Chains A and B, each alone.
Chain A
Amino acid sequence: DQQVKQNSPSLSVQEGRISILNCDYTNSMFDFLWYKKYPAEGPTFLISISSIKDKNEDGRFTVFLNKSAKHLSLHIVPSQPGDSAVYFCAASGNQGGKLIFGQGTELSVKP
């Protein structure tokens, strides 16, 4: 059974500091993605990483993949109040095109 877990339901960070969101997975996955969700809106794609890489960077957002630990993390630096949202980790497994999502982490960036 393939699972994706985000063990921290919430995170609070001061504006300008680094936000680190974590995600763990079981079994082998192929691609990993982070989605961002504002209230009353659908999730929007943020950044992704292939299982053949260990880092992908896009502006203030960097995703790190540690395959031996089956762990990935999203770093946001510097954090901004507009980054306040729920962040979902997702992964594609051997089950076709569908994604398996984590429970989400609610990030709050304080001015």
Chain B
Amino acid sequence: GAGVSQSPSNKVTEKGKDVELRCDPISGHTALYWYRQSLGQGLEFLIYFQGNSAPDKSGLPSDRFSAERTGGSVSTLTIQRTQQEDSAVYLCASSSDRTNYGYTFGSGTRLTVV
């Protein structure tokens, strides 16, 4: 597609439920990133995929968070047993290579845990 697509755009879930957030990067982009923005906070790095290399998971806040990237394209971020502090806008970005200037963000998924 022309841009990075994220779904759903909004998600309300009950505390304790699992959620899956999807990211479709720009076709051909080898690097894919997940960030999140909590209310009043900056962009917090979560995880980074680059080609076939092992992902950089150093930003995942707990073991309830995991992410996969299938076939070097679509990525899914899964949050298990959601907590209220997980409420945030989850942003996905892709780039053609490690050059940061190529970062293109999606519009994000607003997750609300009630």
Contacts and interface: CB of A to CB of B under 8 A. Distances in A.
Interface of A: 4, 6, 9, 31, 33, 35, 40-45, 48, 88, 90, 92, 95-104
Given A97-B48, A101-B35, A103-B41, A40 B107 contact: yes
Contact of A101 (B31, B42, B104): B42
B43 interface: yes
Nearest to B37: A104
A99 B106 contact: no
Nearest to B47: A98
Which are the 10 A-B pairs with shortest beta-carbon distances? A42-B105, A101-B43, A103-B42, A97-B98, A98-B48, A101-B42, A43-B105, A42-B107, A92-B100, A42-B106
18 contacts: A4-B42, A42-B105, A42-B106, A43-B91, A45-B104, A48-B100, A88-B42, A96-B48, A96-B50, A96-B98, A97-B33, A97-B48, A97-B98, A98-B45, A98-B59, A100-B45, A102-B42, A103-B41
Nearest to A102: B42
Interface of B: 4, 31, 33, 35, 40-45, 48, 50, 56, 58-59, 91, 93, 95, 97-101, 103-108
A31 B93 CA distance: 18
A106 B32 CA distance: 26
Contacts of B33: 97-99
Given A40-B107, A88-B42, A31 B100 contact: yes
Given A42-B108, A45-B103, A96 B56 contact: yes
Contacts of B95: 97
Contacts of A101: 35, 42-45
Nearest to A91: B100
A88 B43 contact: yes
Contacts of A97: 31, 33, 48, 50, 95, 97-100
A48 B101 contact: yes
Nearest to A33: B100
